[in-house]
Amino acid sequence: MDQKIYATVIKAIAQQKRIDASSIAADSTLETLGISSLDAITIMYEIEDALNLEIPNESLEKLSSVQDILDGISQLVQSKA
């Protein structure tokens, strides 16, 4: 996995939830991190800006873990290349 994607996702989550980035793991669920649907939208906007991507809104409904976000962003980056 691309370290830039990983770092961007972890940073966006940490900033939105005001938690230490080291407490976020790829297998963390959004629920255990206290991420609401509104938080998820804000996090996705930050990731879009940082990586110059457009994340389809319908993909937000399928997210349940940090790994889901990482996988989705990685797929978008690969399809854009």
pLDDT means over runs of 10, the chain (81 residues): 90 96 96 94 94 86 91 88 70
Q: How many domains does the chain have?
A: 1
Domain that holds residue 45: 3-80
- SS3 category, 26: coil
> Looking at residue 1, what is its pLDDT?
59
* CATH code, 75: 1.10.1200.10
Question: Alpha-carbon distance 40 to 2, whole Å?
Answer: 21
Phi, psi of 24 (to 5 degrees): -105, 125
Q: What is the pTM of this model?
A: 0.90
Query: Which pLDDT score, from 0 to 100, does residue 56 have?
Result: 86
